[in-house]
Amino acid sequence: MKILITGGTGFIGRTLCHRLLDLEHELIVLSRRPEQVSKLCGEPATAILNLEDVSPDESIDAIINLSGEGIADARWTKSRKQKLLDSRINITEQLIAYVAKAKYKPSVMISGSAVGYYGNNNEPNLDESTDNPDDFAQQLCIQWEAAAQPVKAHGVRLCILRIGLVIGKDGGFVKRMLLPFKLGLGGRLGDGNQWMSWIHKDDLIAIIEMLLTSSDLEGNFNATAPEPVTNAEFSLCLAKNLNRPAIFPVPAIVLKLLLGEMSELLLGGQKVIPENLMEQKFRFQFKSLDSALKAVL
């Protein structure tokens, strides 16, 4: 397949590109850093800076849209929130515009979202049909998903990935947590009761592979492991795998003072269940958090 990818140089995208190249797919990677695509994504991926560099006569078989500034990379000022929105919605709208004028329509578009779609929701189990309360992270996901919907009018199969916290060796949220836990200074955040819906990066890549090639699958998919944990459980599991204690909790008030509104990402949570994937009998390589952390650490 010839696949157009956005976000290919990111934490998930790099691994995905190498996997797809191993499977002998042809890749076109849209990146703000085209000079780094070969190094980060592998050869022979083609790098482009603008979608205008892809001819409407090009035959693109699939689009994978993982674009977006890191949601936890900086404090949520008004300008930062706008940048988070623009980096996701603008490129998604540009992809739709490309599909509209393309002579040969892709068969599928896989577009990113996150479990933040469900808001800070205390419902016991959230599947793809759940409605939810309102916060910035949720609105970000809702608008991102909405921007992708018009591609269906062009006969393109649309799959939305609501991705949980991704566990991998070379980045992601675990890497940010390692230093304090290695120093024995780790612990739960706030009361530790907030749910963390996670997924190992290898399973996420396998889900994307499945959606690329399964022509009967479309709609929303929770890309999370089937066994979510609370923050307290996660902290204890990480500490155990590092042979360290987890006895230094961070009070909620401290996180709110340090991070402002962005503290919602750490103090809120969702217990998300990948119902649609389980219905398809998707086989998770990493069902338990302990197995995922052992693989990473």
Instruction: Report in angstroms the alpha-carbon separations of 59 from 27, 70, 132, 134, 254.
Output: 12, 31, 39, 40, 52
Domain boundaries, the chain: 2-296
Dihedral in degrees, nearest 10, Cα atoms 224, 208, 215, 275: 0
pLDDT in tens, 232-256: 999 999 999 999 999 999 999 999 9
Q: Do the Cβ atoms of 238 and 188 come closer than 8 Å?
A: no
Q: Do the Cβ atoms of 45 and 3 come closer than 8 Å?
A: no
Predicted confidence at residue 135, as pLDDT, reads: 86
Residues of the chain with pLDDT under 50: none
Predicted confidence at residue 171, as pLDDT, reads: 82
Predicted confidence at residue 170, as pLDDT, reads: 81
Question: What are 220's strand-pairing partners?
Answer: 160
Helix 289-296, helix 231-241: angle, nearest 10: 40
CATH homologous superfamily of 2-296 = NAD(P)-binding Rossmann-like Domain (3.40.50.720)
pLDDT in tens, 120-133: 876 778 888 776 55
Residue 114, amino acid = A
Q: Do the Cβ atoms of 209 and 269 come closer than 8 Å?
A: no
> What element of type H or E holds 202?
helix 201-213
pTM of the model: 0.95
